[in-house]
Structure 1
Amino acid sequence: MGADRGRLGRGRAVRVPVVLGTAALLLAGCASIPDSGDVEPVKASPRGGESQVRVYAVPPRAKAAPDEIVDGFLEAMTSDDPDFAMARKYLTDQRSKAWRPEAGTTVLRDAPAAAAPKQPGGTDPSGMTFQLYGDQIADVDGTHQYEQVAPVSYTGTIHLVQQNVGSEGKEWRIDDLPQGLVLGESDFQRNYRSVNKYYFASGESWLVADPVYIRQRIDPTTRMDPVTQAVKALLDGPTNWLKPVVDSPFPTGTALQKGTRTLEFDDRNGLKVPLNGKAAEAGHDQCRKMAAQLLFTLRDLTSTPVGRVELLANGSSLCVLDGDQAEEFAPDHSAGRADTPYFVDREGRLSLLTSGGDGSPEQSRVRGPFGDGTVKLDSVAVARDERRAAAVTNGSKSLYVAPVTSAGELGQPLVTSQGVAAKDRLSAPSWDGHGDLWVADRDPAKPRLLRLADGAGTPEEVTVDGLGGARVEALRVSADGVRIALLLSKDGRTTLQIGRVERHGSGADTEVSVVELQATAPQMDTVTAVSWAGPSRLVVVGKEAGGVQQVRYIQTDGSTSAGSVLPGLNQVTAIAAADDEQQPLIADSGDAGIVRLPTGANWQTVVPTGSSPIYPG
């Protein structure tokens, strides 16, 4: 229910909802309460959402005043009522037929509030108009794509008229309102959950995560359970932002078999997915890729790994793919390789961290010029195959690439910055999933984002649309190679933006650009460090205006969930996460040195002195 929302108008009473044995909450108006189960008071819509809390809407009471109608409708929008049937009872017959709650969702910081109505007569002789208002923090469109916005003022209107309702005579009903839903953040988090859909990077054999939001339980409009909702969302295609850089092998027009609302796993956690006849056009290899998309999509919805997926078309089996077989299409395309954490030791040499026999961390230097002291390193990035590394040296002036598994010569620098101060020279480098190396030259006279194909040759400048005079301070490219996280500085602030990496052409003629930057942490006044932490998640170090430094997880669409803020850590200058989300975070934390955060534990110092902690990439 709407947090902090009481009755509208004069004498509005604040309701205190209750959690019952069935975890059901009743909304607005009069209704009977079950007489079994324990009862205890709770705050309305606990922030962060609780999926076990159920909300049941009730119809308007007879002769309800206009403010009660508005209040009851706003509450009914927060329920799981089939097709929002109770919410529609607050609307006129004509408006009920035209209202499309599935058109999208406007997310406000708190539940929508309503201004005092204009009285009949004057400019509104036919009814009453209530103005909704609040601080909008996000928008979810009809394709389930979540887009966070810096808090902006939201306004909308609800208009009421009187119409005949059965034998009751004239009753107030809503005849005009915004399309879609308008929810407070806590109600949104209670009703929706984030799920990654998966599509193939264009021209590649690995998957890319595409986060969307689906209903926590049965969708009121489609009556589909969460698993079926996720499958339908996948078949509907990628979100508009990701669409230009991904492919889906599903034949055009593929959909779930008509009438499918529930998909259930068998006792071996396998799933049969019935599709329409269009799916039968797929060949065997194409079908395996389709099944891989489904397997990875459904992993977000199950507590245990999906055993296998079988695709059916018109009742006939098309293909079967086991969970282990799907790993060849994994987003990090690592073939099961465990990521190793690295750091720069106190002498400026590249070292790696391994676990000793008792589980305690052990460190050892890599081979080659980055580990033997030939050159002192400022920052470093290890290629995803862990055979090479790129290092920035000489006061962030020069970029080198060298092997880390064998001895070798350092060679000549691949990039040299002309910036005067170290902060105006090269950023830490980053490797993408294609094996290309990226670095930013922060020289104020000639700021550039550079890419070195296969980590060698002549650096090519990458255009970044929408910079607006900002400078790239730091960057991290995703394992899938189609997204890049940029820390951009302008007017004394450093903000986090995600850009889409577009590639046109092939081989030496490939042209690469970064387009459609999206603010990913607009609530943070300054961002200090960022790292990819899985296929669609980032770990971010920053602080809100007037606040203290935080380490938190943020989805690439900007959304967060309960538990996203990590245990306190001070003076963090760098942070790193592995593609494998089970690996511990590592960070550089001032006097504490290099620290790590194992699952279920607190931060632990592993090296008292060091810098630039990284995982491959």
Structure 2
Amino acid sequence: MIPVSGPYTVSEVGAGDPLTKSFQRMIAIPPQEGWGPEETIRGLQAAMAAYPDDPTILPQYLTAEALAKWSPAGPVTVIEDGFEVVPQTPRDTTGAVEKLQVKAQVVASIKEDDSYAPTAGSWDRPFDLVKVQGSGYRVKSLPTGLVLTNSDVMRAYRPTNLYYMSGNSQKQLVVDRVRLRLKPTESFAQTILERLLKPQTAALEGGAVTSSFPPGTKIESIRWSGEERVVINLSGPIDANDLSTEDSLRAQVRYSLSKNEVAKGRVIEMQLDGEPYFIDRPESDEGWLDDSGDSAYYVSKGAVHYMGKDGPAGVVPGPAGQPRDGYSNYTLSKEGTATSFVAATTSTGISVAKLAPEGQWQEVIQGTGLTPPTWHQDGSLWTYDTKNGFLLRYDPATGRGPERVSAPKLQGLDVTRLRIARDGVRVAVTTGKNTVQIGALTHDVSGTMLGNFQSLTTTETGKEILDVAWADDEHLLVLVGIKAGQILSQINVGDGETVGIPLEDQLTRLAAAGGRVLGEFSTDQGVKVMELNQDRQSWTAKIEQGAGTPLFPLG
């Protein structure tokens, strides 16, 4: 029996099924004759939450005129749960029209590309309701789009990581964070893969990433075969003889499912038009994600040192391992190659040295207004020339450069830091003292460009961003100084989800990779290097004194 007091939820159960996730589905009910204006508005909002599963209820809350003009298209507005419905005065004394104001705090918007954008502020909307004899109230007009509460989103949507191929020559996987609605008519595995067939979100458009699925690819079926095997049948213009496509397609499917706790640990059998295509086993790992290495380093008296499990472990070969004055902002290129380099800022520019006995320090970019250098997966070195407004790239392999890279959205901004993520696509940029933006390196016939900027976080006046570091390909560590001390946060660059990390002393510099976080701390006893423990709540000293500037490759 459906209660007449309002909407209710039904649990969708998928116990034991590795392809789906259990969730609660909103069941809305039509407006009731005995409801007042406020109950009608709350019923309307519940009908919005249920609309994708049952679009027949919401139209019953609208007059014919309102229904003719309304559309569910556009971003979904997410508001806090405790919204107010406030009667407006003076009221219509005839009782023919009731004017209400809905007041709430906005939480986010879910855009049409399924990206989740946190926001803040008030959300106030007027509503006019008319009384229909024997049927209760109806809404005279309704703005386009759906309005859901935060609880609606938590109940029906899941944060989901999709994986595409990087648009550069490195061909790594790049994560694209979306919010996907759970559907009672299909498994979550199918929801994920159906979305993976569509274009990436706006944050990664413009050639920043590509897909191994050619246009026209369809998912014919997904089934769970036995205890350990998932069978996916595709159709469409996939070349079964193209091994490179097979490898990258395999990676996109494996990571998009397993990283969302779907089909994790199971064999994935892929079919093409019902015929065997390939089999992917869960233990296979071909380095599609960050493979830069997680060996830790630090700097003491200008010399770069290895860090062992419990402390110092020696110096790097060549001049980079020798004491040196006047160098700062050290950064390391990709580890494990024959051409691994260290870069550092000097008073006249940026110099690099090969990590080899025969290596020599050489100034490769001149200037006094350069941001700290950052390495790309392809071996190139990047910086932003704040005096001239140029994004610069230098390639040690060729010795050419520095060359300018187009970054029109940075023109006129006070760029203070620029850090390329290990996926070789995303770029964190701080401007002034208070703002962090996330951009992407895009590619087209005209070349490479830094664009697609979206705001990640902005601090209040009186607070200052002191340092940023990529924790992994989807999280940025942001250190903020405040009057009372410091705040260290880990922010998901895809949806803004933020987790605080406690600090014990004054943190001056960050480095992170492979789940590890190192910090340079300033104490009464001097500068030391500490590592964040696995509990993410405490730190352990690694180098007690005489050391700073912790480093990871590409960090």
TM-score tier by shorter-chain length is 0.7 to 0.9
Q: So what's the TM-score if we normalise by structure 2?
A: 0.83
Q: Is the 8 A contact 2:33 2:137 kept in 1?
A: no
**Change in CA separation of 1:255 and 1:177 when aligned onto 2, cut-off 3 Å:** farther
Letter in 2 for 1:440: Y
Aligned to 1:537: 475
**Change in CA separation of 1:326 and 1:132 when aligned onto 2, cut-off 3 Å:** farther
Q: Is the 8 A contact 1:132 1:158 kept in 2?
A: yes
Q: Is the 8 A contact 2:23 2:156 kept in 1?
A: no
**Change in CA separation of 1:309 and 1:171 when aligned onto 2, cut-off 3 Å:** same
Q: Does structure 1 residue 473 correspond to structure 2 residue 422?
A: no
Residue of 283, 286, 297 corresponding to 1:342: 297
Q: Does structure 1 residue 365 correspond to structure 2 residue 315?
A: yes
Distance 2:345 2:144 in 1: 56
Q: Is the 8 A contact 1:344 1:379 kept in 2?
A: no
Aligned to 2:376: 432
Aligned to 2:259: 300
SS in structure 2 opposite 1:479?
coil
How far apart are residue 462 of structure 1 and its match? Answer: 2.8
SS in structure 2 opposite 1:407?
coil
Aligned to 2:365: 415
Q: Does structure 1 residue 589 correspond to structure 2 residue 541?
A: no
Residue of 92, 113, 116 corresponding to 1:146: 116
Q: Is the 8 A contact 2:8 2:26 kept in 1?
A: no
Q: Does structure 1 residue 161 correspond to structure 2 residue 130?
A: yes
Aligned to 2:454: 518
Q: Does structure 1 residue 132 correspond to structure 2 residue 139?
A: no
CA displacement 1:556-583 (0-9 Å, x = unmatched): 234205xx112234432221221x3xx3
Q: Is the 8 A contact 1:495 1:521 kept in 2?
A: yes
SS in structure 1 opposite 2:218?
coil
Q: Is the 8 A contact 1:551 1:567 kept in 2?
A: yes
SS in structure 2 opposite 1:549?
strand
How far apart are residue 476 of structure 1 and its match? Answer: 1.0
Residue of 468, 484, 508 corresponding to 1:573: 508
SS in structure 2 opposite 1:74?
helix
Distance 1:87 1:547 in 2: 50
Aligned to 2:186: 224
Q: Is the 8 A contact 2:9 2:24 kept in 1?
A: no
CA displacement 1:153-211 (0-9 Å, x = unmatched): 434454433446xxxx2321335323443234455345433222111122533221111
Structure 1: state its 5+ residue gaps. 1-25, 35-50, 419-424
Distance 2:304 2:391 in 1: 25
How far apart are residue 516 of structure 1 and its match? Answer: 2.8
Residue of 461, 465, 468 corresponding to 1:527: 465
Q: Does structure 1 residue 390 correspond to structure 2 residue 345?
A: no
Aligned to 1:278: 236
CA displacement 1:129-155 (0-9 Å, x = unmatched): 434343434321122112334x34434
Aligned to 1:194: 159
CA displacement 1:71-91 (0-9 Å, x = unmatched): 233345456994366666645
Q: Is the 8 A contact 1:28 1:57 kept in 2?
A: no
Aligned to 1:47: none
Distance 1:390 1:208 in 2: 25
Distance 1:415 1:280 in 2: 45
How far apart are residue 301 of structure 1 and its match? Answer: 1.6
**Change in CA separation of 1:248 and 1:58 when aligned onto 2, cut-off 3 Å:** closer
How far apart are residue 271 of structure 1 and its match? Answer: 2.2
Q: Does structure 1 residue 598 correspond to structure 2 residue 533?
A: yes
CA displacement 1:245-296 (0-9 Å, x = unmatched): 2211212122322xx6x7547522x422233x32555544223322221111
Q: How does 1:250-265 map to 2 (within 5 A)?
A: 250-257=213-220, 264=224
**Change in CA separation of 1:598 and 1:266 when aligned onto 2, cut-off 3 Å:** farther
Residue of 442, 452, 457 corresponding to 1:502: 442
Distance 1:273 1:97 in 2: 41
Distance 1:159 1:263 in 2: 49
How far apart are residue 367 of structure 1 and its match? Answer: 1.2
Letter in 2 for 1:201: S
SS in structure 2 opposite 1:531?
strand
CA displacement 1:292-317 (0-9 Å, x = unmatched): 21111112221884443322344333
Higher mean alpha-carbon deviation, 235-244 vs 92-101, is at: 92-101
Q: Is the 8 A contact 1:291 1:310 kept in 2?
A: no
Q: Which has the higher contact order (CA 8 A, sep 6+)?
A: 2
Q: Is the 8 A contact 2:24 2:156 kept in 1?
A: no
How far apart are residue 485 of structure 1 and its match? Answer: 0.5
Distance 1:576 1:152 in 2: 34
Letter in 1 for 2:474: S
How far apart are residue 239 of structure 1 and its match? Answer: 1.3
Distance 2:40 2:148 in 1: 17
Distance 2:267 2:73 in 1: 31
Higher mean alpha-carbon deviation, 460-469 vs 206-215, is at: 460-469
Q: Does structure 1 residue 452 correspond to structure 2 residue 389?
A: no
**Change in CA separation of 1:552 and 1:374 when aligned onto 2, cut-off 3 Å:** closer
SS in structure 2 opposite 1:459?
strand
Distance 1:33 1:501 in 2: 44
CA displacement 1:317-366 (0-9 Å, x = unmatched): 333233444524x132x2xx741122212x121112122xxxx3443221
Distance 1:451 1:377 in 2: 20
RMSD: 3.6
Q: Does structure 1 residue 462 correspond to structure 2 residue 405?
A: yes
Q: How does 1:6-155 map to 2 (within 5 A)?
A: 29=5, 54=24, 56-57=26-27, 59=29, 60-75=31-46, 77-78=48-49, 82-83=53-54, 90-91=61-62, 103-108=74-79, 111-117=82-88, 127-149=97-119, 151-155=120-124
How far apart are residue 30 of structure 1 and its match? Answer: 5.9
Q: Percent identity?
A: 23
How far apart are residue 474 of structure 1 and its match? Answer: 1.3
Distance 2:298 2:413 in 1: 29
SS in structure 2 opposite 1:252?
coil
Letter in 1 for 2:510: I
Distance 2:276 2:541 in 1: 53
CA displacement 1:589-608 (0-9 Å, x = unmatched): 22262111132252112123
Richer in strand (by share): 2
Distance 2:52 2:113 in 1: 21
CA displacement 1:39-77 (0-9 Å, x = unmatched): xxxxxxxxxxxx988475453444101111112333454
Letter in 2 for 1:585: V
Q: How does 1:169-248 map to 2 (within 5 A)?
A: 169-174=134-139, 176-185=141-150, 187-202=152-167, 204=169, 205-215=171-181, 218-219=182-183, 223-244=185-206, 245-248=208-211
Q: Is the 8 A contact 2:77 2:106 kept in 1?
A: yes
